[in-house]
Structure 1
Amino acid sequence: MRPSVKRLLIASVAGSVVLGGVLVLLPSSGGTSAPPALGPAGRAMVAVGAGVPAALPDLTALIGEREAQVRAHPRDDQSWAVLGSAYVARGVRTADAAYYPKAEHALRASLKARPRGNAEALTGLATLANARHDYRAARTWGEQAVRQAPKRWTAYPALIDAYSGLGDSKAVGRALESLQELGSGPSVMTRAGQVYRDRGWREDAGAALADAAALAEAPAEKAACLYRVAELAWERGEPTEALRYYDAALAADPEHHPSLAGRGRALAALGRSSQALHAYRSALTKQPTPEYALELGELYESLKLLPAARAQYDVLRARVRQESADGVDNERVLGLFEADHGDADAAVERLTAEYKRHGSPATADALGWALHRSGDGEAGLKLATKAMEKGPRSALFAYHRGMIERELGSYGAARRHLGEALRINPFFSPLGVPAAKAALASLGDPPEGGPEEMYAPTPPAAAPLKGRGAVTSAAPPRGRDKPRRDPQVKLREPRSRSTRSG
């Protein structure tokens, strides 16, 4: 072998070993800050291995480097695993599902090259399945990764996402405990904050996410943490506070497109409609997700710009078809859209199948609403109730439940839940908020005297006797000034107050 060729081969192999070692030797504490000497590809590799966002230029550098490496060394299982995970990360950052088939090919090539002990590839496959909203597959791959490397903390975030998508709150708790035992950095804090939010523990969630944002050094990771803090503020009905955090996220990473859509929500709530539309359009241009198309369409509809709204609904349908071809499951968002703006019966069919696959509170709420819209309010109420009991404190969930109860004639419960929706977030939807207010106005105030079930009705006074032996003056009936409870009528048990914060 010529000396120049030998030197090139040695350098290539050495580079593969060094960069591959970055993924294996991720910080045990859950930190993701990379030493500056690693360069763009090294920084991206650390972020990808830890399951946190990487800067798009760094991802581009990493993908190009790993593609060259696997072309030269097709049996390099570690480079295949890194490449597949980088494809997933880029697909998520850009909402380009075309990267997902490439990611699956790379990760399966890694498993083929090293079938045993390949926790990196298994974790990558779990992350890919979560990105496609295939939470069953994500659970399978994530559990395999944990069995092969139980002390590797980076497998647990993917498992937490999978269990959350399946509505398995107990498994989420166990996975979080394992994650916190193995790590304590900003990535771990972020995942804990998400779990706390899903449990309705908003104060704990806010503290965990704020700490994560303070500790994160990489701009993309800091932006992701600040975005989640902003989302908590939005869900509390604080658009000014949310806008401040969305802006901070964009200052940290101008390519954090979810914060652009978040700005759109907050600006619309503040009455700055032109700026809101601009923010949404920018987000959709850079990260065209079906959710953003639905939000923008409903904002147009609330402004009586119906042709523009219909155009966004067409974008939503097109994006769903396009992503479905790349293996992404968007049945929940499409079902919600159909329930409100299309064919409610088709929405029930879609969401029934989706609920069987992924029984999360969000899917239960969507199916319950679709059932109501298709005329089966009784079945819809059961699912809407389950969503509120098992899920986060959500204005949308409370609104759906209140509207279903109003349709069924449960006016007291309807007042309570519609009022709760507006208390949680008075700006939760540009179409839902006016509908909730109108429904409350039509219900009016509750009748005086409290619930009828509390006391038995007071028996009417006996009519005075006529003729001989008539009583000329009768004592007032017993219980006139204080109703007597009939022993046959049971008092309702008081509703227990929720201990969840927020």
Structure 2
Amino acid sequence: MESGMESEERRFGAAGRTMRRALGWTMAGGAVLAGVLVLLPDGEQQHQQPVAPAPGPKARARAAVAAGVPAAMPDLAELIGDRERRLRKHPEDGRSWAVLGTAYVERGRRTGVAADFPRAERALGYSLKVRPSRNAEAYDGLAALATARHDFPAARQWGEQAVRVAPERWTAYPLLIDAYDGVGDYRAARRTLDQLLALRSRSAVTAPAVTARAAQVYWDQGRREDAAAALSDAAAGAQGPAERAAYLVLAGELAWQRGDLKESLRYGTAALHADPDEHAALAVRARALAALGRTEEAVRAYRSALAKARSPRYALELGELYESLGRQGEARAQYGVLRETVRADAKAGVNHDLFLGLFEADHGDPERAVRLLRGEWERQPSLRAADALGWALHRAGEDEEALVFATRATDRAHGGEVRSALYAYHRGEIEYALERPGPARRHLAEALRLNPYFSLLHAPVVREALGELGEPSDEGPAELGGQPGGPSGDASADTPADASAEAPA
């Protein structure tokens, strides 16, 4: 069986072969420094020209942090230690405080240890204290910190401030796109992407990171082919193994979302080869292995991912894998890990209300889920919040109101272009509960069409519901009670005629 890296080499062609050689050199511990032999026109051999030494780990990590791209974990540790030592001697160095704070954010994000976030907040705050004006590096770091904490209004504030003081610095734009997505301002997200793409042509070094961020927006807009092509380009042009692994992880997640399990597994394997510290690569592999029926391999991959990063998402997915296998005690243990992690993260300022609300709706207290998600919707009215609140309301027995929010999450008029199997499933189940067989059948079938493996627990429920609904009636309008396009029928439009009008602003 071919390795994931060999598969990637064929995918990316010459660029992939070059990157593979570069990865080999990097993982071996450094680069071979040699002179360059230059021939004079008369054929005489000149002296060997010295080559600038390869950047060390601190320089590599600082360049990555400054550029807003993933840094290798050993390099990141070197950078943090170096800045901490420097600041003990030079506490008025505002730029070093900004670098240190942003490095803490990156380490917390990479390891799942949210205790780094208060450290980052203190460092970035001190950077602003000693350098209060036009401190774009600190603004970037604070936007990244707010994003990591899922505080998108704060991320928007800091991102906009960074763009105001340094509009030519590209690093704030991806953070600002995430912030606008998080608060449900999709027009602003598209506008910011256009600004980011305009900057891309000015710096070849940042092009892969910009292309990768564009791919995520393309996916949200339903442009799957554009997203896949953009991520392939980004991975081929990545400047280091950690950056390349991050883009391969994204490619693996997108492959998963379209139901291509083998492709997702290949991307996850390639990402792990590029950066063995990338826990998200293990999760990509685990997800695909579980759906492929290789459940014991999936369990081991999830456990390895959790050993590297205590992510609530990984705990949930492993718990649901155990539950699908009938291993209820082990499932409950993972759900306990999830709750402990959420509590610990909350002490460090991380907002997990959206994630926890969905978990409570499916595995805990739906009434609590509704309370959590109403608050999340008021603070950050994104499509994710609309979908989650709609589902929680359904699980709490409030199906009429639930449909309003589920419609919002999938309504193009409100930015609902994301083609999500989970969103379609939630909406279809709500419509099924409301005895609207036509729309229910359409949305449940759409969920399986988008990704037949979208959930180990929910996908079988969809198949059972479709079996109970049966095939559409040949009589057409008769099913609608004589009202074409009525609320209980299989209308040509995606939603009941009045659903969009009732959707919350």
TM class by shorter-chain length? 0.7 to 0.9
Correspondence for 1:40 among 25, 33, 57: 57
Alignment match, 1:193: 215
Match of 2:317 in 1: 295
Pair 1:408 & 2:434 matched: yes
- 1:228 maps to which of 231, 250, 274: 250
**Residue 180 of structure 1: aligned partner:** 197
Question: In the alignment, is residue 446 of structure 1 matched against residue 467 of structure 2?
Answer: no
Could you tell me which amino acid in structure 1 is paired with residue 61 of structure 2? A
The number of aligned residues is 431
Partner SS for 1:359: coil
Give 1:56 deviation, angstroms.
0.3
Residue 265 of structure 1 corresponds to 287
Alignment of 1:248-397 (within 5 A): 248-389=270-411, 390-397=416-423
Structure 2 residue 448 is the aligned partner of structure 1 residue 431: no
AA of the residue aligned to 1:218: G
SS in structure 2 opposite 1:38?
coil
> Match of 2:230?
208
Aligned residue in 2 for 1:472:
none
**Root-mean-square deviation (Å):** 1.9
Query: Could you tell me how far apart the structure 1 residues matched to 2:146 and 2:169 are?
Result: 19
Instruction: Answer yes or no: is 1:57 the counterpart of 2:111.
Output: no
Counterpart in the other structure of 2:425: 399
Mapped partners of 2:481, 2:447: distance in 1: 31
How far apart, in 2, do the equivalents of 1:395 and 1:492 lie?
19
- Alpha-carbon distance in 2 for matches of 1:448, 1:244: 43
For 1:446, give the aligned amino acid: P
Measure the CA separation in 2 of the matches of 1:453 and 1:421: 23
> Could you tell me which of 128, 133, 155 is aligned with 2:150?
133
Shift, 1:36, TM fit: 6.0
Alpha-carbon distance, 1:100 to partner: 0.3
Higher mean C-alpha displacement, 304-313 vs 36-45: 36-45
CA contact (8 A) 1:362 1:391 kept: no
State the alpha-carbon separation in 2 of the partners of residues 288 and 361 from structure 1: 26
Q: Give the whole-Å Cα distance in 1 for the aligned partners of 2:158 and 2:376.
A: 20
Give the letter aligned to residue 407 of structure 1. Answer: A
Query: In structure 2, how many angstroms separate the alpha carbons of the residues matched to 1:321 and 1:214?
Result: 39
Are the counterparts in 1 of residues 70 and 106 from structure 2 also a CA contact under 8 Å?
yes
- The alpha-carbon deviation at position 446 of structure 1 amounts to 2.5
| Partner of residue 495 from structure 1, selected from 485, 488, 493 | 493
Q: Could you tell me how far 1:388 is from its partner in structure 2?
A: 1.5
Which residue does 1:420 correspond to in 2? 446
* Pair 1:78-2:101 in alignment: no
What 5-or-longer segments of structure 2 have no aligned partner? Answer: 1-51, 202-206, 496-505
Gaps of 5+ in 1: 1-34, 458-484, 486-490, 498-502
Opposite residue 184 of structure 2, the aligned amino acid is G
Per-residue CA deviations over 1:15-38 (Å, capped at 9, x if unaligned) read: xxxxxxxxxxxxxxxxxxxx8632
User: Normalising by structure 1, what TM-score?
Assistant: 0.83
Task: For 1:311 and 1:370, locate their aligned partners in 2 and report how far apart those are by CA, in whole Å.
Answer: 23
Amino acid at match of 2:112: A
Letter in 2 for 1:263: R
Partner secondary structure for residue 52 of structure 1:
coil
Q: Deviations over 1:409-464 (max 9, x none)?
A: 0011111111110111110000001111111111122223112388969xxxxxxx
Structure with higher Rg: it is 1
Partner of residue 159, structure 1: 176
1:66 is the counterpart of 2:88: no
Q: Aligned equivalents of 1:493 and 1:60: distance in 2?
A: 58
Q: For residues 36 and 431 of structure 1, do their structure 2 counterparts lie closer, same or farther at Cα, with a shift above 3 Å needed? A: farther
Tell whether the 8 Å contact from 2:439 to 2:494 is kept in structure 1 after alignment: no
User: 1:494 offset after TM fit, Å?
Assistant: 4.5
1:92: how far off?
0.4
